[in-house]
Amino acid sequence: MCWSRWDPYGIMAELVATAMTTPMTTYENAPVYTLIEEELFRATRARIGYPGAIGDGMLCPGGSISIISAIHVAKVFKYPEVRTKGLAIDTPKRLTGYISRNAHYSFNKGFNLQGHFTVIVL
């Protein structure tokens, strides 16, 4: 789906960004980017009141991936054993997600991707 027409400046910026993209999976792959990311997370934690070394973060490319990741983190936080045993653990047969009717469309997508969710729209 295209949200706007093509833009020559955007195409050129995308070309430069793609050419310079470095996998940021580990420090060995991208030491400078990893250090920048860590500093960004440290500054963010300090700004919202977390002490320096406590906490972690993840950069996401957009709203949908951010929401899907947040739903997954909430599920694993509530039921940590789901990471090793799957949804066959002793949880309710279905988990429940509550969303506003004005919520971003990706909440439904996120709940569907995570599986075993009943979605209640308020």
Residues 98 and 44 in one domain: no
Band (pLDDT 50/70/90 cuts) for residue 50 is: confident
Residues 91 and 115 in one domain: yes
Band (pLDDT 50/70/90 cuts) for residue 41 is: confident
pLDDT above 60 for 102:
yes
Q: Identify the pLDDT of residue 105.
A: 85
pTM of the shown model: 0.60
Report the mean per-residue pLDDT for the chain. 79
Contact in structure between 111 and 121 (CB atoms under 8 Å): no
Q: Is residue 94 part of a domain?
A: yes
Range of the domain at 94: 63-122
pLDDT above 70 for 52:
no
Residues 119 and 97 in one domain: yes
Residue 116's region, left for phi above 0, alpha for psi from -120 to 50, else beta, is left
